[in-house]
Amino acid sequence: MTHLLQIEDLRVTFNTRYGEVTALDGISMQVREGETLGVVGESGCGKSITALSVMGLIPTPPGRIAGGAIRLNGEDLTRASEARMRELRGAEMAMIFQEPMTSLNPVFTVGDQIAEAIMLHQNVSRDQAFRDAIALLDRVGIPSPDTRARDYPHQLSGGMRQRVMIAMAVSCRPKVLIADEPTTALDVTVQAQIFDLLNEIQRDFGSAIILITHDMGAISEMADRVAVMYAGRVIEEARADDVLDYPQHPYSRGLISCIPALGKGEMRDTLAEIPGVVPPLHLLGAGCAFADRCSHRQMRCDTEQPRLIAHGHHPAACHAVEEGRI
Amino acid sequence: MSALLDVRNLKVRFALPKPSLFAPHPFLEAVRGVSFTLEKGRALGIVGESGSGKTTAAMATIRLVPAAGGEILFEGEDLLPLDDEAMRARRRDIQLIFQDPYSSLNPRARVVDIVREPMDLMGIGDAASRLERVKELFELVGLRPDQLNLFPHQFSGGQRQRISIARALTTNPKLLVCDEPVSALDVAIQAQILNLLARLKRDLGLSYLFISHDLGVVRHLCDDVAVMYLGQIVEQASREDLFDSPKHPYTQALLAAAPSLARRKSKGYVRPLKLSGDPPSPINPPKGCAFVDRCPLAQEICRQEQPVLKACGASQVACHFAAT
């Protein structure tokens, strides 16, 4: 099976008051049809910039794709015209954002907003599009969809709004669906409903899903493959089971062991901590960006950038793993 | 064991706008008769969805929201009848940590002044001893003395939450109310704050009333747990009993909904218990059990009769058909 979406050595830079900073520094990841790729990391690691790059939504200026390629079915999106991107967005790839309240238009009914997306990409009448919108609302599990379609976003609960976003995103059966922390603002019960819905949609439509999250628990439930990001780089990439059971990079290990356990019997006295915070991008030095927070730091970590290569189990960008020290 | 806090049948209601000039006020019943006990040196977690009344119940307990009825016994003394001055003196023993470390610190004050302010207000010690105390607290929560004169915006989210904790500890409180203290933080930072709270509880013998929607966090830090749904406690138990053998169908569904590393897509994990819909409106709470429309076990009696909290094994459960 070939990859539906392939990101190759992508570099994205931003002009800031500190000069040009590199937000994405040569990242590569790929996702197949019907597969879910989890992208995980703390805030400021470049997860959302990756998603926006794929959608062609990096604000330019100050941002700029400085190198690499993003291939959707072989077509390089970094070279596509804005008109071509507009054709692809919504039809071939769609995105679900973190905050459904701010991503829906407050002055149009949700039915009209979904119908608008349908009419942009399909040659159908307004009436037909509205009927399709109602069918989609039904599909994403909104009760009494024909009355709800005439509601405005503020009349819906947070979970319902996120369902509307999903209905809009899947209205043209996109091949790639990017979900950027789709459940951050929601309760766990609603989060579970949204995750189950995304899985159903993937089964029905065969979409590839890129799920962006900071929660390793969500990765475990949703993802087939995982890319762990840190300070604009992919530092570990493998099948979800490999990363969860045999994390290599000290950062991935930290992310997994700092979650309080929920399962019967498992109990940790103290949680593993990752000291400090993600460094600001303009302060990155020549060495490993994680060195300051790492307990396996040695001289080499400060001077030489580790590369993402398989040392044992699967690829990880870490000198300590490479030297067999951990 | 002596109870630090004993809350009995606490009720909170909010008046809604009148539908017409002569109509009576409709009320939103936010907390509908909640009782719990918090022992000294222990942590009681209150969990539930948004709108379940968990924050309102905790805020009413420390009189930051007026209660409509009930008793709040703090070291045996009922807080509700106290006048303002007596309550103000009592607040020395009761402190609060908020969810959002960005909006709960004054952006124009230096952190040394923020942490010292409770001592100024309570008239504790003199200027020199207050500064000493601030330095001591900074060290206790893991901040450096050279950071004393900085402003809140110069700190990261996790450090700001440490400042909030230092401020809460200045008056040597007995009870610390934590309202979602780690929800706004990244997972790695969340672990730092949880470990700090666990250490302070152990070393200083603090008691926590800990509000959270995150079951993993509650399981890590709390000794006892109360699950709230639409303004009422539906299950109350020790940590072990609640997490290892949940009795109420809502508790079971909450546990099934929480993401966990043990549930793998690769192993074909399918959620066993699915909750559909949203909780009912607290403006007109249903006559019977509030959970009835989302409950897999619901029967006719659940619509007619409100279940009361009663013993079920080692737990307290409010359900007509609780699993035993």
pLDDT of A198-243, one tens digit each? 998 899 889 999 999 988 889 999 999 999 999 999 999 999 999 9
Q: Is the pLDDT of residue B46 over 60?
A: yes
Q: Which chain B residue shows the shortest CA-CA distance from A216?
A: B261
A265 pLDDT band, cuts 50/70/90, is low
Distance CA A313, CA B89 (A): 61
Summarised one tens digit per residue, pLDDT across range B82-103 is 999 999 999 999 999 998 888 8
Q: What tokens were used for A202?
A: 């993937």
Q: What is the pTM of this model?
A: 0.87
Closest-CA distance, B81 to chain A, in angstroms, reads 36
Q: Identify whether the C-beta of residue A36 lies closer than 8 Å to the C-beta of residue A211.
A: yes
Average pLDDT for chain A: 89
B256 touches chain A (CB under 8 A): yes
Q: Which chain B residue shows the shortest CA-CA distance from A157?
A: B278
User: Judging by beta carbons within 10 Å of its beta carbon (0-12, 13-18, 19+), is residue B61 exposed, middle or buried?
Assistant: buried
B243 touches chain A (CB under 8 A): yes
Check whether the bond before A62 is cis (ω within 30° of 0). yes
Amino acid identity of residue A174, one-letter, is P
Distance CA B284, CA B278 (A): 15
B32 pLDDT band, cuts 50/70/90, is very high
Residue B9 pLDDT? 95
A239 touches chain B (CB under 8 A): yes
Residue B185 pLDDT? 86
Check whether the bond before B101 is cis (ω within 30° of 0). no
CA B106 from chain centre, in angstroms, equals 23
Where do we find the tokens 């790695």?
B188
Phi, psi (5° rounding) for residue B189? Answer: -75, -35
pLDDT above 70 as % of chain B:
99
Residue A324 pLDDT? 85
Best residue in A221, A222, A229, A267 for a mutation probing chain B (most B CBs within 10 Å) = A221
Give the H/E segment covering residue B113. helix B111-122
Q: Which chain A residue shows the shortest CA-CA distance from B242?
A: A264
Q: Which residues lie across from A180 on neighbouring strands?
A: A212
Give the mean model confidence (pLDDT) for residues B48-72.
Answer: 92
Give the mean model confidence (pLDDT) for residues A70-98.
Answer: 91
Find, among A49, A112, A52, the residue nearest to A85 by Cα: A52
Inter-chain residue contact B244 with A265, CB threshold 8 Å: yes
Helix (H, G, I), strand (E, B) or coil at B100: coil
Residue B324 pLDDT? 62
Distance CA B90, CA B163 (A): 22
Residue A99 pLDDT? 79
Distance CA B17, CA A240 (A): 52
Which residue in B214, B256, B261 is closest to A256 by CB distance? B261
Summarised one tens digit per residue, pLDDT across range A156-186 is 888 888 889 999 998 888 999 999 988 877 7
Q: What tokens were used for B103?
A: 């909006």
A1 pLDDT band, cuts 50/70/90, is low
Residue B183 pLDDT? 85
Residue A7 pLDDT? 95
Helix (H, G, I), strand (E, B) or coil at A251: helix
Distance CA B156, CA A275 (A): 12
DSSP secondary structure of B166-180: HHHHTT--SEEEEES
Give the C-alpha distances (Å, rounded to integers) separating A48 from A224, A276, B53: 19, 22, 33
Q: Is the pLDDT of residue B2 over 80?
A: no
A304 touches chain B (CB under 8 A): no
User: How would you classify residue A231: left for phi > 0, otherwise alpha for psi between -120 and 50, otherwise beta?
Assistant: left
Summarised one tens digit per residue, pLDDT across range B219-244 is 999 999 999 999 999 999 999 999 99
**Size (chain A), residues:** 326
Distance CA A74, CA A314 (A): 26
B264 pLDDT band, cuts 50/70/90, is confident
Classify strands A5-16 and A19-31 as parallel, antiparallel or unpaired.
antiparallel
**Chain A 127-156, CB below 8 Å of chain B: which residues?**
141, 143
**∠ CA A89-A91-A95, rounded to 5°:** 50
Inter-chain residue contact A258 with B219, CB threshold 8 Å: no
Q: What tokens were used for A265?
A: 């019997």
B44 pLDDT band, cuts 50/70/90, is very high
Q: Which chain B residue shows the shortest CA-CA distance from A262?
A: B216
Helix (H, G, I), strand (E, B) or coil at A212: strand
**∠ CA A260-A264-A267, rounded to 5°:** 40
DSSP secondary structure of B142-209: T--GGGTT--GGGS-HHHHHHHHHHHHHTT--SEEEEESTTTTS-HHHHHHHHHHHHHHHHHH--EEE
Q: Which chain A residue shows the shortest CA-CA distance from B262?
A: A263
Q: What tokens were used for B79?
A: 């807080």
* Chain B residues closer than 8 Å to A157 by CB: 278
B262 touches chain A (CB under 8 A): yes
Give the mean model confidence (pLDDT) for residues B29-39.
Answer: 94
Who has greater pLDDT, B264 or A6? A6
Average pLDDT for chain B: 91
Q: Which residues lie across from B8 on neighbouring strands?
A: B71
Inter-chain residue contact B194 with A254, CB threshold 8 Å: no
Q: Is the pLDDT of residue B1 over 70?
A: no
A269 pLDDT band, cuts 50/70/90, is confident
A284 pLDDT band, cuts 50/70/90, is confident
Distance CA A97, CA A46 (A): 15
- ipTM more than 0.95? no
Inter-chain residue contact B187 with A255, CB threshold 8 Å: yes
Order of strands across the sheet that contains A208-213: A93-96, A176-180, A208-213, A36-40, A225-230, A233-239, A315-316, A309-310
Q: Identify whether the C-beta of residue B233 lies closer than 8 Å to the C-beta of residue B227.
A: yes
**Chain A 36-55, CB below 8 Å of chain B: which residues?**
36, 42-43
Q: How many CB atoms lie within 10 A of CB B96?
A: 21
Q: Which chain B residue shows the shortest CA-CA distance from A271?
A: B191
Summarised one tens digit per residue, pLDDT across range A32-68 is 999 999 999 988 889 999 999 999 999 888 899 999 9
A191 pLDDT band, cuts 50/70/90, is confident
Q: Which residues lie across from B5 on neighbouring strands?
A: B38, B74
Residue B130 pLDDT? 94
B187 touches chain A (CB under 8 A): yes
Distance CA B235, CA B249 (A): 10
Give all strands (DSSP E) within chain A, no chain letters: 5-16, 19-31, 36-40, 63-72, 75-76, 93-96, 176-180, 208-213, 225-230, 233-239, 309-310, 315-316
A193 touches chain B (CB under 8 A): yes
Q: What tokens were used for B100?
A: 């959002």
Residue A5 pLDDT? 94
A189 pLDDT band, cuts 50/70/90, is confident
Distance CA B195, CA A270 (A): 6
